[in-house]
Structure 1
């Protein structure tokens, strides 16, 4: 079975998401911070009249918070019936993936990241981490802006 993925970069690492979950890719827009939200929720932005929660994906993965600049992007995706934005350093390519090549995440290593991985795949001699959007959103802690 084949899937299409969008690849992007965070902290010099290559990640991917299933293209079917992506609604749009936006240029960086400053967010409005919200009180009493998890540390990885950067804030909210106005998306054509709707409030869109924006997740700092680096912080969500257990890394340092992103110091966003106009070079960053927001990937708007739909998960569990809710739209959310993900801050990424840059968006790279659309790639085709044969699901037979997707390998399970290692059992040792970056413990912060592994629970959020669907798997790993080598694409053009680069190791790409395929994220599981449902796992990233499982806590429901950012449903405040639904």
Structure 2
């Protein structure tokens, strides 16, 4: 069973929040979204990769902020009153992702999904659930749980790295 089939096994339709990075449209599972907010100044973390902008204090939670535009080299990287942060709840942690804009919430069924390509998109295909067309626009469905908790981003300790420390 593929990732999308597993994620919609409980229901025939799943809702996704759509957003843009550069000229491409993406979507993530709406259930991972905690809130959408404007960008605010961050506290920088020494020696962090350039795509990790820093952390913010969000009502007592220290939240790492990842700029997906930098990570995947898409879109114009500016920080102004129009910059958007999607705050996510992933594996009992809170993480913010910077995007160019948030569009809409769409409902998609398994039948509307096409397999992800092996090339031509900013994301590694292992982080993709697939592609869908909504209102004649192609949307790339991102497995945000897999992306944010990947070793590539380094925001979460993996079982292997924790075992290596003990």
Q: Same fold (TM over 0.5)?
A: yes
2:96 is equivalent to residue 85 of structure 1: yes
Contiguous gaps of at least 5 residues in structure 2: 1-11, 158-166
Spell out the pairing of 1:46-65 with structure 2 (5 A cutoff).
46-63=57-74
Kindly report structure 1 stretches of 4+ aligned residues shifted beyond 6 Å. Answer: none
Deviates more, 1:97-106 or 1:55-64: 55-64
Change (3 A) 1:9 1:79: same
**Partner SS for 1:44:** strand
**Higher strand fraction (1 or 2):** 1
2:24 is equivalent to residue 26 of structure 1: no
2:145 is equivalent to residue 115 of structure 1: no
Quick check: which has more Rg, 1 or 2?
A: 2
TM-score normalized by the length of structure 2: 0.79
Change (3 A) 1:118 1:4: same
Partner of 1:132: 143
**Higher helix fraction (1 or 2):** 2
Partner of 1:142: 155
Contiguous gaps of at least 5 residues in structure 1: none
Question: What is the rounded CA distance, in whole Å, between the counterparts of 1:94 and 1:111 in structure 2?
Answer: 22
TM-score normalized by the length of structure 1: 0.88
2:55 is equivalent to residue 44 of structure 1: yes
Q: Is the 8 A contact 2:74 2:122 kept in 1?
A: no
**Partner SS for 1:52:** strand
Partner of 2:27: 16
Spell out the pairing of 1:90-105 with structure 2 (5 A cutoff).
90-105=101-116
